[in-house]
Amino acid sequence: MDIIATTLQGRVRGRVEESIASYRGIPYAAAPFGIHRFRAPAPVEPWEGIRDALEFGPTAPQRPYRPPLDRLIPDVDIPGEECLNLNVWAPRGAGEPLPVLVWIHGGSLRNGSAAMPLYDGRAFARDGVVLVSVNYRLGVEGFGVFPDAPDNRGLLDQIAALVWVRDNIAGFGGDPGCVTVCGESAGAISIAALLTSPRAAGLFHRAVLQSGPPHTVTRAEGARTVRAMAKALRVPATAEEFAGVDRERLLDVQDALVGRADPVSGGPGFHLVVDDDVVPADPPPSSVDLLLGCNREEYRLWFVPSGALDRVNRLTLRLALLRFRIPGRVARLYRAGRPGAKPGVILGEMATDLLLRGPLNRLADSRLADPRLEDARTAGSRTVRTYVYEFAWRSPVLGLGACHALEIGFVFDNLRHGEALSGPDAPQPLADVMHRAWVDFATSGDPGWAAWDARRPVRVFDHPGTSTVLAPRQEELRAWL
């Protein structure tokens, strides 16, 4: 059955199935091409009549993941220029305005889309949360650093989508005063920047960071990938010149330079940059409640399918320690805690803690120690809460274990579309528990366990036996300080 909703830009037609209304491909900004290419997002031109929102809209230009990741994380490619669009799932006929969860996908700022079946929002809508998923510009279009274009354009797209939510979500049954932003990997890194951005102030009220810590670079560092692409294209490193390059050629060169890079082994890529406008260098503390965490064996998504886990030997481990300036005492501590482990496991465990678990723990600690937040508490403002989790269930697929991105199917209560990573027999009871925690956090700000304090409580999601553990593996985390 069709259903009509009204936005400031015009009316849209969605579809109702099993009491869930879904609207797909609604534009929240103008197509970022032609006169809008490499520019900040521009407003959508209003339309007359009723616009169909029955199919997913175009996805941001990108190349798929390279094998073997393309089989584990299959991208969706929908052609078209109107790629700044979003999707909404909401229960039909809800009475009071419902909490809203805005999903920002990951993909190293160069891959992914809101059209992936894994991100279907039906389970959230079923449980009383309006789910909005967002497409934004990727790669050089969204995050290339140029002297003649605004920085962080993909982040500006996300902010434009949040403005759309503020202005329109009431028409879909959502509460614009109860918005939670949630993202994984690059989506979480984006949200960490949104927490600090004056442009995003007041647009959301809670935030979830899954497997992505705060991370920015300087403009000079961020421009390196553009300069390398310009050299390969034989054009000046300006937005004007890049706009004149055939889009497929641009994607080919981009893929050749960054397609093999990953968060663990590094390599050229795209980053959020400090620009003192969208992403300030010295931001004020965020007063929104946070839910954050990572997966126990993040590194295995990259180390296992590629064979790196077995290729790393004692020599390559020592070279990696030198490259990343990891003290020998840290490596000895990790080896002592994992007797008989392969060098690749030792390196991967250290990389997970160095890049993810450690920074996320420090973010949680910083919210306890920040005197600016303490001043607010002393003045009678509400307590700013932080909740920390770890996903520990191990997938049997290829020996991936508790790898990066595995938790998403559990959060969305959508195991059927997560089988490439989890296999066909992933535990539904664990999805029930984890999905409920996200629903509760979006609804009330309390996911169901103790907030972060000096005891460092961490909710460990596993099956069987989800539990709260105090200060897990703190000796290893302290070794990095």
Q: List active site positions.
A: 185, 298, 404
Q: Give the Cα separation of 190 and 256 in Å (integer).
A: 24
Say which residue the tokens 């490193």 belong to: 237
Best CA proximity match to 220, nearest among 165, 273, 162: 273
Q: What is the DSSP letter of 262?
A: B
Give the tokens for residue 234.
């034989």
Best CA proximity match to 445, nearest among 366, 390, 387: 387
Maximal CA-CA distance, the chain: 68
Partnered with residue 459 across adjacent β-strands are: 389, 468
Q: Give the Cα separation of 481 and 479 in Å (integer).
A: 6
- Interacting residues of 202 by C-beta distance below 8 A, sequence separation 6+: none
b/e sequence 371-405, b meaning 16+ C-beta within 10 Å = eebeebeeeeeeebbbbbbbbbbbbebbebbbbbb
Best CA proximity match to 182, nearest among 210, 154, 216: 210
Partnered with residue 14 across adjacent β-strands are: 3
DSSP E strands, 368-433: 386-391
